[in-house]
Chain A
Amino acid sequence: MGNSANKAPKLAGVVGFFDTPDALIAATKQIRGLNYESFDCFTPYPIHGLDKIQGLKRSPLPWITMTAGLTGFMCAILLQGWTSVINWPLNVGGKPMWSWPAFVPIFFELTVLFAGLCTVGGMFLLNGLPNTKKRSFDNNITRDRFALMIDAPNLKTADEIEEMDDGEIAKYKARLAKYKAFDEAEAKSILQGAGAKDVRSVEARGWFE
């Protein structure tokens, strides 16, 4: 973590605010075409089609849900099967030991329980929560502002480059070469050109800074 008292605040990126979702969409298309390493859109409510335009991949959360659900189902089978059939079989009302109709509610319940809890947990993890590293740059994002932020890439300092070996330097250079180079002023002007009304730089700040 750096000591914020010693260093100057690092640049996180450049953000432009738009008035309308349509403007944001248009800007997104444009910025996407420019092939920056990373950029993101911020909206108070989900905007139809923005994901695709932004080029976001489908979330892996449903896989988590399914896996968890199946795990829950298996746990239910194992729990009831082991207790009622193997460990402590009891003749209740002439019913067989493996009386699956009676087990159905637990099957359902554990499936749903595991699936539900893991979905929530998974969502948090995938969202990068809990997160104390990044602070929101504007409180009104969730109210009424539409924004597009172009992130400043995570550049290594000269000291760090010296410590890297050639392979790593090559990888680093390859990574940088893939995307458009980021320049603060250029990015700002691009955003303005795209129709942003308010453009500014954003510092990288954590919660406690």
Chain B
Amino acid sequence: MSENLNAGLETNEFTPPRHWLGAEELTASYWNDPAVKEKRAQEFHDKPIETLELIEKLDTKGIKRRDFLTLMGASMAMASFACARRPVHKIIPYVVKPEEVTGGIANYYATTCPETGYGVLAKVREGRPIKLEGNPEHGMSRGAISARVHASILDLYDMDRAKEPSRRGGKALSWEDADGEIAAKLKQIAAGSGRVRFLSNRMLGDSTLRLTNEFLAAFAGGAHVQLDDFASGDLVEGQIESYGNAVIPHYHFGKADVVLSLGADFLGNWGSSEEYSADWVKGGRIPDAKNPASARMSKLFVVESMMSVTGANADVRFPVRPDGVLKVAAAIAAEVARKKGASVPAQFSAYTLDAVAADTGVEAAKIKEAAEALVAAGSGKSIVAAGGLSSKTEDSIGLQVVANYLNSTLGNEGVTVDGNGQAWTKVGDRAEKVAKLISDMNAGAVDALVVVDANPVYSLPVSLGFAAAMSKVPLVIAIGDRADETGSLAHFVLPNHHFLENWGDAQPRGGVVSLQQPTLAPIHSTRAYQDTLLAWAKKGGLKVKGLAATIAASESAGTWHDYLKANWKETYGKSGNFETFWEDSLRDGVIKSAPKATSARSFKVPSLAKVPPFKPATSGFVLATYAKTSMGDGNHANNPWLQELPDPVTTATWDNYLNMSPKAAAKMNVVQDDVVTVTLSGTTIDLPVNIQPGLHENVVAAAIGYGRTAAGKVGNDVGRDVKVFVNGSTMAFSGLPVAVAKTGRRYQIAVTQWHNATENRPVLNDITLAEYKSNSKASLETDPELRLEKVPTMWPKHEYPGYRWGMSIDLNACTGCGSCIIACQSENNTPVVGRDNVRRSREMHWMRIDRYYSGSPENPDVVFQPMLCQHCENAPCETVCPVLATVHDDEGLNAQIYNRCVGTRYCQNNCPYKVRRFNFFDHWKSYEGSMNLAWNPDVTVRTRGIMEKCTFCVQRIRDAKDKAKDEGRKLRDLELKTACQQTCPTDAIIFGDINDKKTEVSKLREDDRAFRVLEVLNTVPSISYLTKVRNKVGEEAGEGKREGKKEGEAHHG
């Protein structure tokens, strides 16, 4: 008897947590390690800081404490003399006030980001843009934009922009002088062989393209080479091979029941991600709450070598080597062919299920399951998307062909895969063209090279030898925003307008036509690229063709703006009143353009020849490169918001690193932050290691876009350039066999996920679709001891008459893209703190996306959970503030009153969600010069010693209520949107009045999936989360009901 009683008590069995941040959390030794206990308990790193960061700079060098205090003491003494008299402040009106400008009221101007083609609304206050939003009218944005586009407003105000034309070496010169010299040279060249080359990234604007072409027509040997964006991989090549047209197809993710992604990070960084995210989530990821028993969800299979945002959202994921992607794809293709009763192409015959399973490590049954799902979905109800850097091996065209074969065989071509109606026609040139340019330059067959808004010296792999080739060109002109790696080698750097300062248009794909207009007068002495062409044409008397000739010749209407209008008149405004049409188009930012009807293209069977024969995988490490959602190709490396945006999957900021699987790291005896060398054919770089669950054992992955040398103060020397390994002839970015060796050094990567470790309290839950269908409340019935039962209260609750603000976040819809983080940072003047401070857990983002793994470290499931101030009704933070700087207002907001806060930080300590951020330093001082124009004047800029946190965009609430009061009515539902809600492409965040039972947010709070985080603490948060439902079957790794545990077991350490 006694044995039974004591049985459970004696054995303190360790049960690993169901959701974990890193593989070590799954071991008992981690939780028992006293060093770990100390680190996890010490959230705020109260050890003395030996080197303080200089407040003005973002670099990591600091000054010693004593000197700092001396300096501060001196400046304090001087400041105290000044306090005897009130400082004189000026108030300066306009000379002539523009009639549309009212101080304090924002105007919204529709424009377009020319890099991505997304329509944005620029919020302009007193003549300068302070925030970008998505243009709801735009066919691609539909009101949402990515983190990178959001952050581009800071690039406008970047102090490292080129402010005036300069020669090589940095010497400034005037526009007249530059034009004079260059035009004269071009005139000479035009008279001669006229071998002028223009090199740019892919241009999305018809008008700009037309002008460029007409300009080049003046040169007998003129040509325009457009660099493709690497992130799409060899997508276009594959299209040309299989279908004969050079397009990027438009994918209708909303219509697909099954999606197979072969390395294509369509939710993060591949193609038109915001559009795809919105379609994919809204089309099939939200199970029907009204009829849970018949709820339907689409299914996502992802085959990839580096965990991406798409892989994190996958229902079923296959972590493979880079070459494994094609192998799995081919095996699936063979299965699909078999199932559909078609003959299996010869090229696929070697890719049998067993062979591929043995080679890649993926179970044969799973590959079969994927094939079966694709077929079972029905004709035209699936999508196979392939591409991306992490699968761009030397056989990447073959991979595309396999994907195309699958799409055609499954009937997707012409239905969900649109290759001719709404497809992207604006694609870069083929790799051969770039190679030809380089060889021409090397041969001295290029008289002049004009680089437009591109940075080939950095963005092209070093092995292509672009810099050396460029040095042979007698006239190199770089038109861009700064003297970057390419510009510093050019003869002239002519600064281009930022897109917010320029006119333009964009027709990225069929059915989308948008305009770009300036939102402010140019800040520096920059000039539009297009105006530069017209100026050269004029000054050099170049014989440009067509419209360019007309405009260049005109005295009164000879600018780029005139050209654009004239082109539009010819193209779109032939009938009716053009001026009205033009004004309307500028106001909307887009025009409705009916896309061509789509039809299925026929698959060219000979393209299958590109599928390589089965090559067994080599042993040893292979390197996969990838592009981060924050950095992309590194073009915006000088943008501090993007540098500090935590990567959705690794949650690391600043720097790139070598991702390694836990198994491989254990084998090599390497731990997080160890520095290793990566070597390939004599080239070596060193990188710190980041342990990344979900990688194949032999894969190491590193991001491109780092290691820049001429980006600016913020972006220089951040991370390492891993494109040094890319083979110039094959242009393989992944699958590179590398040797990895330890150095013994360590380098702390600024990872944010561990900063808010939850003490193993469950903060979220995920269930399968089957569980949801059988019991829609399934997620609420796990962990019953952590659900709040009826709690006796000592006093009645406060009444909230009038509005009461609440929010609902759907974890099924959140893909982890991070747009909301940058939107919040832009809206609320949240500062950037720099790498060192992030290491000390002092990052300032009001909103963060927590990323939790579950299952096995080899192939985990991932859940993203946006975490922000929960605006608790029984806020633990309010109770402990000694000066009542944080109180509850009568609309349910937890208010933070900055001027009252004395910096006790007790509230930060007491917040169980750890969402309060403290200004340890005067971070606002890091915004130098023109960057100060980026502040939102509606939100206080916080100084040192003040606590801040999400305010539910109280300034927007105030403005919206004001407007409603003017009109004498109540606010309508969804009229008021918080910054995060407005930019979320998938509408994961819904905000509104919860007193009104008819609002969207009220309905979502009643959803069966709704839960509140840490509700057992009785904080009564105003934000409810909807449990993630995954379309996964069976008791796979990561599945299974959580056993009801005694509370003592649940908390380890």
A and B touch in the complex (CB under 8 A): yes
Instruction: Give A residues with C-beta under 8 Å from B.
Output: 90-96, 99
Residue from B872, B884, B1020 within 8 A of A90 (CB atoms): B884
A95 to B793, CA, bound (A): 10
**Closest 9 A-B residue pairs measured CB to CB?**
A93-B879, A94-B874, A91-B888, A93-B878, A96-B795, A92-B878, A90-B887, A93-B875, A94-B873
Say if the beta carbon of B876 comes within 8 Å of chain A.
yes
List 20 extra interface pairs beyond A91-B887, A92-B888, A93-B874, CB under 8 A: A90-B887, A90-B888, A91-B798, A91-B888, A91-B890, A92-B878, A92-B879, A92-B887, A93-B872, A93-B875, A93-B877, A93-B878, A93-B879, A93-B888, A94-B798, A94-B872, A94-B874, A94-B1020, A95-B795, A99-B795
Q: Which of B878-928 contact A (CB under 8 A)?
A: 878-879, 881, 884, 887-890
Of chain B, the residue at the smallest CB distance from A99 is B795
A158 to B831, CA, bound (A): 92
Task: A62 to B588: give the CA distance in the assembly, Å.
Answer: 84
Total B residues in contact with A, Cβ cutoff 8 Å: 19
Contacts A91-B889, A91-B890 hold; do A96 and B796 have CB atoms under 8 A apart?
Answer: yes
B998 within 8 A of A: no
Dominant SS at the A interface? loop
Indicate if B47 sits at the interface (CB-CB under 8 A): no
Q: How far is the CB of B453 from chain A (nearest CB, A)?
A: 53
Given the complex of chains A and B, what is the CA–CA distance between A90 and B797 in angstroms? 13
Write 12 A-B pairs (CB below 8 A) sorted by A numbering.
A91-B888, A91-B889, A92-B879, A92-B887, A93-B875, A93-B876, A93-B877, A94-B872, A94-B874, A94-B875, A96-B796, A99-B795
Residues of B within 8 A of A90 (CB): 884, 887-888
Which one of A92, A94, A96 contacts B884 once the chains associate, using CB atoms below 8 Å? A92
Give Cα A95–Cα B875 distance, bound, in whole angstroms.
9
In the complex, chain B residues whose CB is within 8 Å of the CB of A95 = 795, 879
Tell me which residues across on chain A come within 8 A of B889, comparing CB atoms: 91
A14-B875 Cα distance, complex, nearest whole Å: 74
A93-B894 Cα distance, complex, nearest whole Å:
9
Q: Nearest chain B CB to A80's CB is how many angstroms away? A: 13
Measured between alpha carbons, how far is A91 from B795 in the docked complex, in Å?
Answer: 13
A92 and B879 CA atoms in complex are apart in Å by 6
Closest B residue, CB atoms, query A97 = B798
CB of B952 to closest CB in A, whole Å? 16
Residue in A closest to B875 when the chains form the complex, CB atoms? A93
Residue of A nearest to B890 (CB): A91
Most buried by B among A90, A92, A93, A96: A93
- Nearest chain B CB to A205's CB is how many angstroms away? 55
Among A90, A92, A94, A95, find the residue whose CB has the most chain B CB atoms closer than 10 A. Answer: A94
| CA–CA, A49 and B1044, complex, Å | 72
Q: How far is the CA of A92 from the CA of B884 in the complex (A)?
A: 8
Complex Cα distance, B797 from A94, in Å, reads 7
Chain A residues near B884: list those with CB within 8 A: 90, 92
Inter-chain CA distance A93–B879, complex, in Å, is: 5
Closest to B879 in A: A93
CB neighbours of B875 from chain A (8 A):
93-94
B contact residues around A99 at 8 Å (CB): 795
* Chain B nearest CB, measured from A158 CB (Å): 70
Q: Restricting to B771-814, which residues have a CB under 8 Å from any CB of A? A: 795-798
Most buried by A among B872, B873, B878, B889: B878
Interface string of B600-616 (1 = CB under 8 A from A): 00000000000000000
State how many angstroms separate the Cβ of A88 from the closest Cβ of chain B: 9
A91 to B893, CA, bound (A): 11
Within 8 A of A (CB), among B670-715: none
Q: Which residues of B contact A91 (CB under 8 A)?
A: 798, 887-890
| Contact residues in A for B887 (Cβ distance below 8 Å) | 90-92
Closest Cβ of chain B: how far from A143's Cβ, in Å? 50
For A96, the chain B residues whose CB sits under 8 A away are 795-796, 798
- Min CB distance B917 to A, Å, is 20
Query: B883 to nearest A CB, angstroms?
Result: 11
Chain A residues whose CB sits within 8 angstroms of the CB of B877 once the complex forms = 93
* Residues in A neighbouring B888, C-beta threshold 8 A: 90-94
- Chain B stretch 835-888: residues in CB contact (< 8 A) with chain A: 872-879, 881, 884, 887-888
For the complex, what is the distance from the CA of A91 to the CA of B871, rounded to whole Å? 13
Tell me the smallest distance from the CB of A13 to a CB of chain B, in Å: 59
Shortest A164–chain B CB gap in Å is 66
Please report the C-alpha to C-alpha distance between residue A94 and residue B877 in the assembled complex, in whole angstroms. 11
